[in-house]
Each structure stands twice: as C-alpha cells, then as structure tokens.
Amino acid sequence: MIQLHDKQFVPFISAEEIDVAIQKMATQIETDLVDEIPVFIGVLNGSFMVVSDFVKKYKKPCEVSFVKMASYSGMASTNEVKELIGLNQDLTGRTIIVIEDIIDTGHTIVELKALFEQQNLKHFKIATLFFKPEAYKKEVKIDYIGIQIPNKFIVGFGLDYDGLGRNLPEVYQLRD
C-alpha cells in the first residue's frame, strides 16, 4: 500500500500488464496504418509514460509530438475557452493519433477532437491506455483501448493524485 497526500492506494495493475496492453495497441495500429506516416500526439502531462513506451514498440516510421490543453476564461466570465498549446506544425493531410493516458467522462477528448478538426487532417484517431466505460458519457469513438477499468480513481504510470504518483511504474487504485 502507498500513501499520497491524505489518501491510501493499493496495487491494481502491474507493470507487466501495462506493457502487454501497450504492445497490443502498437501492433494494432501498425497493422491498421498501411503506408502512411502517423503523427502520434501525447496529451501532457499524464501521457508522457505511455507515449514513451508506445513509440518504442511501434516499429514503422512515425513522428511524435506533445500538446497540452489549456483553459482560460472567455469574455463572459462563465464560458471557458480551450486552447491547444505546443502544436506548431502543419498537420494538413496527416494522420493524427492522439495518445491519452486515461479517458474518463470524455470531456477532454471531445474538446481535443474539436480543436484538431480545425486542421485539415487526413485521419484523426484516438488511443488510450486506460478507459472507464461506466464513466464515459460521449459519442466519440475511441479507436484503440489498452485496458478497461471500473469507475475508480487510479494513480501511477503518468497519472497523478494532486501532483503525486506519476512516477510509479505500476498502477494503484484508491483504497475503499
């Protein structure tokens, strides 16, 4: 068991299981993309570990980049405006595969999709290491899923609880 801030977490998914899931995603994507060179885009901060492991397992030519979602208040203080930081590359005609650490309610991925659709992409696909089907509220199709998990809070392998836990090589879940 580990303690992060005020909460206790118990082991949930081993480093080996994570490795197998990432390998499975890499093989699927390699098979699905015939002769195009994809741009894999990690969403910071959480996805740094999964992207690092994923691209080492992806054997064909590819590009790798990272973005961060930032929100600021629009003119009316109630409407939050989302912006992509770090995308300084022309993606016209390219196949983009966003790599997420986790998709929970789906709010983030829906906003990301809308922002990327402003570019003239060839394909936009979504891959996520962890997916909570019971929490997911959106229609957007998730193209590649590593591991489906129950609707419980997890940390490790890039995921944090209030800043802590990202460095753990395996995943822990909140203790009941």
Residues at the site binding Mg ion, with contacts judged by CB under 5 A: 46
Q: Give the helix ranges, DSSP H, for 14-160.
A: 15-32, 48-57, 107-116
Candidate list 13, 21, 42, 46; residue touching ligand IMP; CB under 6 A: 46
Token pair recorded at residue 161 = 């609880």
Query: Any idea which residue has 């990690």 for tokens?
Result: 42
CB 171 → ligand IMP: shortest distance, Å?
9
The closest alpha carbon to 149, from 128, 167, 124, belongs to 128
Residues shown for the chain? 176
Question: Is 32 a catalytic site residue?
Answer: no
Candidate list 104, 116, 157, 168; residue touching ligand IMP; CB under 6 A: 104
CB 106 → Mg ion: shortest distance, Å?
12
How many whole angstroms separate alpha carbon 145 and alpha carbon 102? 9
Task: Tell me, residue by residue from 58 to 97, as one string, x for binding to ligand IMP by CB under 6 A and - for no binding.
Answer: ----------------------------------------
Nearer to ligand IMP, 94 or 130 (CB): 130
Nearer to ligand IMP, 94 or 102 (CB): 102
Neighbouring residues of 76: CB distance < 8 A, sequence distance ≥ 6: none
Q: Which of the residues 134 through 173 are near ligand IMP (CB under 6 A)?
A: 153-155, 159
Nearer to Mg ion, 52 or 120 (CB): 52
How many whole angstroms separate alpha carbon 40 and alpha carbon 37? 10
Active site residues: 104
